[in-house]
Structure 1
Amino acid sequence: MRLRDVLEHPGVPLPVLAGHGELDRPVARNAYTTDLLDPARYLAGGEVVLTGMMWRREPADSEVFVAALAGAGVAALGAGEALLGPVPADLVDACRRHRLPLFAVPAEVSFRDVTDRIDTVLWAEREAGAVAARNRRRGLVARLAAGADLAEVWPTDGAWVLSCTGRIIVGGPLGGRAASGPPAGPLGGRATSGALGGRAAAGRTVGSPATGGGLTEADRVSPAASALGAKLAAAFLRADTLPARCRIDGREFHLDAPTLTPTLGGRFIACAGDGTALDELVELAALDAARHERARQVEARLADRLLAALAANADPIETSAALNACGLPTTGPHTVVVASFDTTGPAGFGESARILGRDRAVSPKLHGDAAAIVEEMVAQAGAAVVAADGTLVTAVIAGTGVLAPLRETARRMTSVLRSARVTAGVSEPATNVIGLATALAQARHAHDYALEREGRVSVVGCDELASHDLLLAGVPRAVRQAFAERLLAPLRAYDSSHNADLLRTLQTFLACDGSWTRCASAMHLHVNTLRYRIRRIADLTGRDLDSFADRVDLFLALRAAS
């Protein structure tokens, strides 16, 4: 509402005495009546102040009074003439100096009449705005129901749908200069419309086809956008309840989601500014999620069929049909990822976590879904189908270059939850359908190997492992430990009682490819001393280190024990 709307409202005229060029000022609040000389502490800004001028003892008081009003950001001043007569010139001059609109309230007009006039105009404008908002919401809902994509009805600025890692799903550039083409998230993923439910289906096709793998420069965003997205995601996951509000880099954001509490692996809405549109945006997101639920159920069944075909090493024609049904290309390359997400660490969800360099508390109500988490991890890698199989989640991705983005996304997730651990194995690219079954086996073995590693992020690529590591990863842990113990236990026992350093001698000898001279030099021993130790190792283990087969046994025992 503008000040002009109040002054021009039907009724007794309210003469304007100062600020004729300021009549288009917005009036955001109801009238406030005061006769205090300095009422600034009671003012919020945007209101019309009415006064009977009882505060005026001398002309200089007008400057004090008007300066206080101008500093508080009021919209205008109305001076009543019922008690003290016409408005004095010093008050008019003070209002002109401070560019504060001043109007007179004639004796026959009460302050109640002026207040009612302001209330009437405000109510009419708010009602018109509410009607327009309802009509707009109905129109947006109708467009979604008619098949429009969520991105088509989403605001172009000031609101975003983000993933739990801060990747933009829907919305314009989050910060810094945007790359050309569709908006991209902090990790480089294209902005697309997606369902916003808290729990992902067991199988789901995500992303868009990528034939070359990796990401082009046009897909990347500024570091400022990446940092802001990560901070918003951390604030979302810290929230105990929704909606939540946070202030980041001097900007205020309102956060909400279709779920009642933050969901790890889910998506959320961030709205900059006052958040007045947040409810409407959440409603759109929830409708979009409901619209996609039936498709998710179908995709889950298709993903399970593809995984079953790969596990059974099915006929290439059957595998190609399963790929095609999931929306993946039937020609390579494809990459397979097998992952698990463990949140059973000692810290627990409610413990303090180190987030963005400061101690923050992660919401104790935070929960997540392994399939949804892995879906987010592979979202930027290209077209992918994600299927859950017990505690493991398998993703088949059309493209290559998966390893580095996967590690980065896993790092982002575990930076929020101190107790979480992400473990994943990545296959070598399968150039054709026939190689997909082998790729699945490679990813599973790499995942088994990753489980043995330390750290909260253990993502292992098949090409990073030597062939014997993959072989050992496919052997049950108990079998590996028993094999290593049978060969190495006598050496440990002898070292413990004689301090003979036989175990380290064996490791160094094999690392030197059985070279007596190099091994003796590395251990600072005489060659005869080294020969004595090697004979003792042979006696205790029953293995001849001159035999290649026996050397392999001892080498694998050392690797299995490490």
Structure 2
Amino acid sequence: MLTIRSLVSNQALGLRVLVAGAPGALDAPLLWVHNTELLDPSEYLRERELVLTNGLWHVDGNAAKFVVNVARSGGAGVVYGLREESPAVPRDLVAACEASGLPLLQLPVEIPFTEMTRAVAAELADRRQAALVETVRRGHDLADAISRGSGPTGVLKVLRRDHQLPLAVVDRTGRVLAAADASLTDDAGARAGTALRQHPPPLEVDLGEQGTAAIFLVAALDHVDAGLLCLRPAGELSGVEHEALTQAAHYLSLEVARMRLAQAMEARFASELLEMILAGTEVAAEVYPRLEAFGIDPASPMLVVAAACVGDDGSAGAELTSRLSELLPSWGIPALVANSARDVVAIFPWAQSAENGLDMARRMIIHVQQQLPETRLVAGVSGPADGARALRRPLREARQACRVLLRRAGGQAVERFSELGTYHLLLGGEDGRSLRRISDTVLAPLRDYDARRGGRLETTLRAFLDNDAQLASTAATLYIHVNTLRNRLAKITELTGRDVMTTEGRVDAFLALEADAMVGAAD
């Protein structure tokens, strides 16, 4: 760094310090040198420039004015060049510099200002070349760390080699991706994530008990995804440290972009992951890595929300998937969002109560519903899952609750599986094969008869149950005589072995129809 002290140490210049100025003035960085013989050079003088003068402006009593003008412009100090006509620095100039705390140096007669300028230019060039070489070297090492797959940890290792700073890389959800000499608490991570989700993100963040941290934004693809945090205020960082951290943040953007692309690739197979969970695939070997790719700790408690658009022809589901994929990370929640033909499933960490989970799902649906006003959304919510190994049942519960809500004409848009009717709890524990068996015991003979005879026994059974077993209203619904209805019901009893005129027979028929609806939704 170019300073007054570094120039004084250059013996070829022969500089002599007459006034050291305020504490630290000799070691403050210099921008350049400025040669002037004006009494007031403030219009042309830039801040942190060193003034070179032969004192041609000097007459008795005006040295104080000259020093005030230099100080007012932010000048770094004064170099008085001796001449044969003035072989000594004026005493009033020395006194004025002492009074204002402005450094004053003496340049020998034999050294012209051009030599001073040449020396400053050479030192700046050398230092800039050294800084450029260091930037190139660091860039090579950062690129090497990224290419070797060292990730954020490798980037921090390169930084720590030259700068002993407490560092951490945190994403928008508050998850710490890497750290070096900085152990962030959960609260500090959450504060950092909140700051990164602001528009625009701040350049500093209050981490609570862990103090203030400078943020260097890590932007991947289309928006800020993470931040390189230095657990020091930005004002305490030197220019060299600031430059190194900014460079590292650019390289981290490459790594975070790679992570996002990996997530996008995983998302293409997210539906396959749901099928793995439902099929009971070995969780640790297959499911764990995929959840981790989305920032979800497989051992953490989780919640499953299955959402769908009423009357969706397939296009709304893709939009719903996109909205939920953006929404949850924007709330600081890492999530896996998978789209299937019948619903959109979101799996995310959830350590709070089941009741709070229901409230969370309602917030999600309300938020997305405002963005998709032309559609009606419903969502089923599971009970908490104790880690990835316990996801199978909550996933089935959430999807079953969603299917029930899709079949309802109105009512609640978001419900937990446990809030559904008792028969849903009964059927919800069955797999697809068992549900088909329950359905076929009653409906298979009716469908076979209707196919052979062109009958309407299945339609009649459904109408009969929908009308609460009331003969007159059922007959009116079907536009048939009540005696015709009695004959059809008798045939249903004959074919199925269930007397639908009794409570027991109607219960069996109702469960068969519900099981059929569940199987149909799954298909």
TM-score, scaled to structure 1: 0.53
Counterpart Cα distance in 1 of 2:300 and 2:169: 34
Shift of 1:424: 6.5
Counterpart Cα distance in 2 of 1:332 and 1:258: 27
SS at match of 1:147: coil
Counterpart Cα distance in 2 of 1:63 and 1:108: 27
SS at match of 1:183: coil
Counterpart Cα distance in 2 of 1:297 and 1:317: 22
1:462 pairs with one of 396, 412, 416: 416
Kept in 2, the 8 Å contact 1:371–1:388? The answer is no
**Aligned twin of 1:150:** 152
Aligned AA (1:236): P
Shift of 1:158: 7.4
Instruction: Tell whether 2:16 aligns with 1:52.
Output: no
Shift of 1:288: 1.2
When residues 148 and 38 of structure 1 are mapped into structure 2, their CA distance, relative to the original with a 3 A threshold, is same
Counterpart Cα distance in 1 of 2:349 and 2:68: 67
Shift of 1:121: 0.8
**Aligned twin of 1:62:** 63
SS at match of 2:63: helix
Kept in 1, the 8 Å contact 2:300–2:349? The answer is yes
Kept in 2, the 8 Å contact 1:335–1:439? The answer is no
Q: Which of the pair is proportionally richer in helix?
A: 2
**Aligned twin of 1:396:** 347
**Aligned twin of 1:36:** 38
SS at match of 1:326: helix
Counterpart Cα distance in 1 of 2:308 and 2:57: 73
Kept in 1, the 8 Å contact 2:153–2:179? The answer is no
Number of positions where the alignment pairs a residue of Structure 1 with one of Structure 2: 384
Counterpart Cα distance in 2 of 1:407 and 1:126: 58
When residues 294 and 170 of structure 1 are mapped into structure 2, their CA distance, relative to the original with a 3 A threshold, is closer
When residues 116 and 409 of structure 1 are mapped into structure 2, their CA distance, relative to the original with a 3 A threshold, is farther
Counterpart mapping for 1:307-456 below 5 A: 307-309=274-276, 314-317=278-281, 322-324=286-288, 326=290, 334-338=302-306, 370=323, 372-373=325-326, 376=329, 380=333, 385-389=336-340, 393-397=344-348, 400-401=351-352, 426-430=381-385, 432=390, 434-442=392-400, 444=402
**Aligned twin of 2:431:** none
**Aligned twin of 1:530:** none
Counterpart Cα distance in 2 of 1:246 and 1:58: 51
Counterpart Cα distance in 1 of 2:404 and 2:351: 16
**Aligned twin of 1:286:** 253
**Aligned twin of 1:121:** 123
SS at match of 2:200: helix
Shift of 1:104: 1.8
Counterpart Cα distance in 1 of 2:322 and 2:114: 59
**Aligned twin of 1:262:** 223
When residues 393 and 56 of structure 1 are mapped into structure 2, their CA distance, relative to the original with a 3 A threshold, is farther
Kept in 1, the 8 Å contact 2:205–2:213? The answer is yes
Counterpart Cα distance in 2 of 1:129 and 1:135: 10
Kept in 1, the 8 Å contact 2:170–2:193? The answer is no
**Aligned twin of 2:198:** 234
SS at match of 1:119: helix
SS at match of 2:27: coil
Counterpart Cα distance in 1 of 2:26 and 2:77: 11
SS at match of 2:145: helix
Aligned AA (2:280): P
Give unmatched runs, 5+ long, in structure 2. 160-164, 207-211, 310-320, 429-462, 468-523
Aligned AA (1:262): H
Counterpart Cα distance in 2 of 1:409 and 1:63: 73
Counterpart Cα distance in 1 of 2:36 and 2:358: 63
Kept in 2, the 8 Å contact 1:40–1:69? The answer is yes
Bigger RCO (CA 8 Å, 6+ sep): 1
Shift of 1:399: 5.6
**Aligned twin of 1:503:** none
Q: Report which of the two structures shows the higher radius of gyration computed on alpha carbons.
A: 2
Counterpart Cα distance in 2 of 1:94 and 1:391: 84
Aligned AA (2:256): A
Shift of 1:31: 0.8
Shift of 1:221: 3.5
Deviations, residues 292-312 of structure 1 (Å, cap 9, x unaligned): 4675466335532122346xx
Shift of 1:128: 1.1
Counterpart mapping for 1:63-78 below 5 A: 63-78=64-79
Counterpart Cα distance in 2 of 1:51 and 1:75: 13
TM-score, scaled to structure 2: 0.56
When residues 43 and 277 of structure 1 are mapped into structure 2, their CA distance, relative to the original with a 3 A threshold, is farther
Counterpart Cα distance in 2 of 1:297 and 1:64: 67
Counterpart Cα distance in 2 of 1:16 and 1:379: 58
Counterpart Cα distance in 1 of 2:252 and 2:80: 50
Kept in 2, the 8 Å contact 1:236–1:262? The answer is no
Instruction: Tell whether 2:101 aligns with 1:137.
Output: no
SS at match of 1:45: coil
CA RMSD across the alignment = 5.4
Give unmatched runs, 5+ long, in structure 1. 174-179, 185-218, 238-244, 342-367, 475-482, 488-562
Deviations, residues 38-64 of structure 1 (Å, cap 9, x unaligned): 4445444322111232333323x2223
**Aligned twin of 1:111:** 113
